[in-house]
Amino acid sequence: MNKRSIYRHQSAISEDIAQSNLHPVLKRIYSNRGVSNLNQVDYSLEHLLPLDQLKGLDDAVSILKDAVIQNKKILIVGDFDADGATSTAVCYRALTMLGLNNIAYLVPNRFDFGYGLTPELVEVAKDYHADVLITVDNGISSLQGVASAKQYGMQVVVTDHHLAGKQLPNADAIVNPNQPGCDFPSKHLAGVGVIFYVMLALRQVMRNDHLFNELRPEPNMAVLLDLVALGTVADVVPLDENNRILVRQGLKRITAGKCCVGIQAILKVAGRDIDNIVATDLGFSVGPRLNAAGRLEDMSLGIECLLTDDMSRAMQIAAELDELNRNRRVIEQDMQQQAMITLEPILSNLGNEQLPKGLCLYDQSWHQGVIGILASRIKEKFNRPVIAFASNGDGEIKGSARSIKGLHIRDALEAIATRYPGLIIKFGGHAMAAGLSLAESNFEKFQQAFVEEADKHLDDKALRGVIDSDGELCAADMNLQLAECLRMAGPWGQHFPEPVFDGEFEVDNWRVVGDNHLKMQLRSADSDDVIDAIAFNTSVEQLTSIEGFIRAAYRLDVNSFRNRKTAQLIVEYFESI
């Protein structure tokens, strides 16, 4: 078990927050996340960033308005993850609401086409005979694909959020807050957020041009916020203030029972109470089931679930997605075991601390659709950037990368590509996640190059793994009232993390539940009472290390069991003391 450091934040509380009626613990939590005034946690829609600073929006809207009015055919090209699926659904539903009935969508199968608008995918797209091709959650790096689509006479509108390369595609319009010269204040919109903004702008222009009437009523775009919230959370983009507004408003619609039947169905299959869900339910229950379609089969199944208005059909698809997700878990567990076998000789000789600062793993039997999850799991275990590779069967291997603080993974890949021309066939992504392809014969060369690049940016402190804590909770605050307050004070997520506390406890008793979950009753020093706690996915090493007292980092949460709610600690990390 890797030894972790716990860092307690003690940010100054602003006068505005100090004078508010917030719970004292929540004041501390918000201050630790840079909140200095209550407007930053006022998630009303009127506080959304305005449309006008998105570069390329006017050109995109002009093309789309003309298509809607003339009922031209629009082909939506999405991506095979949850952000891509929700982006496709938002675009399709919005265009339908605006009066267009000549729409189709196409999502590449990751095993046949790979990511994005490739020339090979355009060969399929041309048979749709579309006038306008619009990409959602992809396209910014599709230089050849965009060129091919234009050769076939299609107008091309790219909507994306991924980082742009040195050259942009020659599209008729590009909307991406991360493209050069875009002044949109938030660079963290997910793909679904970008297309939602495009559809808002399209509605605004149609309103200004008096194009709505009895036959074409003006739609309420807020009905799409459930999809926007799901895609934003599932894509793990930073929850800045603007994204938190989108997520909170989407959650309000879901808990009010006003979401699409597909999301309702997936929540039911996942056993979640729709009246009380929060952002983490979208991230850990809905997102993985939706993603399972793109990982193992075809994301069209997930998109169909989000587009249908028939609850019985939605439940049927949700059950299929749930089964795919179960299969994905089995595949993932086998791959994790294989990865640990690969690392075992290094661990036996050197120990965790002497592992390379960057890990590259490859096995010919690994599943392309699951390597991203595998990279995440190994990264979490050893707190190192990890790239897991799988073969695509033609001499190339595809990698999925996950990183840690201190190493911008896309920039690292660009640095390697610059230093070793031709080593990487293609790459793209974000600071914390990226994808790439290279020749199987170049794996060891790339592995060494990646270790060299990681060595430049990561020191021992970065690799140790620091748990950020909001401090200690007194026993009197470990109650249901505060647990429910914190649960609803979000949305919590990337760069606006769920509150974590730390402290020392006496272990009154413990037992293993499920496969490897540790159920405990803990007693803090300032109380004679015990509180229930659980640590999920606990290793054998951790189980055998439990003694009388532990230091723990934990979240205060609500445990619902047989219609009874109690406070519970979710233990993220513990060590004997």
Q: What is the CATH number for 404?
A: 3.10.310.30
Task: Please tell me the predicted confidence (pLDDT) of residue 47.
Answer: 95
At residue 520 the predicted structure's pLDDT band, cuts being 50, 70 and 90, is very high
Task: Please tell me the predicted confidence (pLDDT) of residue 45.
Answer: 95
139: its two tokens: 């396209």
Q: Same domain for 311 and 396?
A: no
Tell me the residue range of the domain where 441 lies.
351-464
With a pLDDT cut of 90, the percent of the chain lying above it is 79
Looking at 446, 464, 482, the residue that finishes a domain is: 464
Q: Same domain for 566 and 426?
A: no
State CA 238 to chain mean position distance. 9
**Residue linked to tokens 């903004």:** 197
Q: Same domain for 76 and 204?
A: yes
Decide if 473 contacts 25 (C-beta within 8 A). yes
Report in angstroms the alpha-carbon separations of 256 from 65, 305, 411: 32, 20, 42
CA–CA separation, 418 vs 413, rounded Å? 9
pLDDT digits over 354-395, tens only?
A: 789 999 999 999 999 999 999 999 998 888 999 999 998 789
At residue 291 the predicted structure's pLDDT band, cuts being 50, 70 and 90, is very high
pLDDT digits over 439-490, tens only?
A: 999 999 999 999 999 999 998 778 877 889 999 999 999 999 999 999 999 9
| pTM summary value | 0.91
Q: Same domain for 378 and 428?
A: yes
Higher per-residue confidence, 309 vs 464: 309
pLDDT digits over 45-84, tens only?
A: 999 999 999 999 999 999 999 999 999 999 999 998 999 9
Task: Please tell me the predicted confidence (pLDDT) of residue 528.
Answer: 87
Q: Please give the order of strands across the beta sheet that includes 426-429.
A: 359-362, 386-391, 396-402, 433-439, 426-429
pLDDT digits over 89-139, tens only?
A: 999 999 999 999 999 999 988 777 777 899 999 999 999 999 999 999 999
In a domain, residue 345? The reply is: no
Q: Same domain for 299 and 181?
A: yes
**CATH number of residue 105's parent domain:** 3.90.1640.30
Q: Round the CA-based radius of gyration of the chain to a whole number and report it.
A: 24
**Residue linked to tokens 């199987």:** 440
pLDDT digits over 395-413, tens only?
A: 999 999 999 988 999 999 9
Under 8 Å CB-to-CB from 51, ≥6 apart: which residues? Answer: 57, 197, 200, 201, 204
In a domain, residue 329? The reply is: no
Q: Same domain for 138 and 208?
A: yes
CA–CA separation, 383 vs 396, rounded Å? 28
Dump strand ranges (E) for 282-395: 359-362, 386-391
Q: Same domain for 179 and 278?
A: yes
Number of structural domains (the chain) is 3
Q: Same domain for 567 and 435?
A: no
| DSSP H helix total and E strand total for the chain | 20, 17
In a domain, residue 332? The reply is: no
Q: Same domain for 371 and 291?
A: no
Instruction: With H, G, I as helix, E, B as strand and everything else as coil, classify residue 275.
Output: helix
Give residue 424's identity as a one-letter amino acid code: I
